Amino acid sequence: MPPNTEKIEGLVRQLLEELGEDPNREGLVKTPERVAKAYAFLTNGYRQDLGTVINQALFTQTTSSMVIVKDIEVYSLCEHHLLPFFGRCHIGYIPDGKVFGVSKLARLVDMYARRLQLQERLTEQISEVVMNECGAKGVGVMMEARHLCMMMRGVEKQNSTMVTSSVLGVFREHLATREEFLTLVGRKG
Ligand SMILES: [Zn+2]
């Protein structure tokens, strides 16, 4: 079900008033409508279906060398403050007969990022879905992101980046595999 944008518009108008603004002044008249549209888009991951996103774009591949997709852009909203966090995600996996079409990994990241999230959970969800959907021997996901809730308020740490990682299967069991992943995504050596 898509969100009720009319209802959201009313709530945003109330919010503007409560913040001491005049929702009828020129610059704000259309703001509730824009905000409702923006939030509908930024949370459309709730309304996407995994099967449709992947759309059977799994290809047979006999190689068992590590596949790495680096620097996938991530834009999400922290569930504690509804403020953006953004950065990059690196995914590595060792296929067991099947590989993803390259653009699918980026779409998977978007599907989970366009929800209210915690960076830790987002990282784990991505690794789990890659592992389960292509039956990989192992998966490693690393995400580096900056959080506006930290940068604009709170501790006001302007340059801190939060790094999270999730490793499954052989990435968890074999140190050498994990190290290879970290080296390839440029986090080591
Ligand atoms: Zn936050």
Give the separation between CA 126 and CA 112, rounded to whole angstroms: 7
Q: What is the pTM of this model?
A: 0.92
**Ligand 1 centre distance from Cα of residue 59 (Å):** 38
Q: Is 166 helix (H, G, I), strand (E, B) or coil?
A: strand
**Ligand 1 centre distance from Cα of residue 153 (Å):** 9
Q: Tens place of pLDDT for every residue, the chain, 189 residues? A: 889 999 999 999 999 999 999 999 999 999 999 999 999 999 999 999 988 888 778 888 888 899 999 999 999 999 999 999 999 999 999 999 888 888 899 999 999 999 999 999 999 999 999 999 888 999 999 999 999 999 888 776 777 899 999 999 999 999 999 999 999 998 764
**Ligand 1 centre distance from Cα of residue 147 (Å):** 7
**Ligand 1 centre distance from Cα of residue 118 (Å):** 8
**Ligand 1 centre distance from Cα of residue 19 (Å):** 20
Give the separation between CA 176 and CA 153, rounded to whole angstroms: 40
pLDDT of residue 156: 66
pLDDT of residue 52: 86
**Ligand 1 centre distance from Cα of residue 172 (Å):** 29
Q: The tokens of 142 are what?
A: 């690393």
Q: Is 70 helix (H, G, I), strand (E, B) or coil?
A: strand
Buried b (16+ CB within 10 A) or exposed e, 6-35: eebbeebbeebeeeeeebeeeeeeebbeeb
pLDDT of residue 181: 94
**Ligand 1 centre distance from Cα of residue 82 (Å):** 7
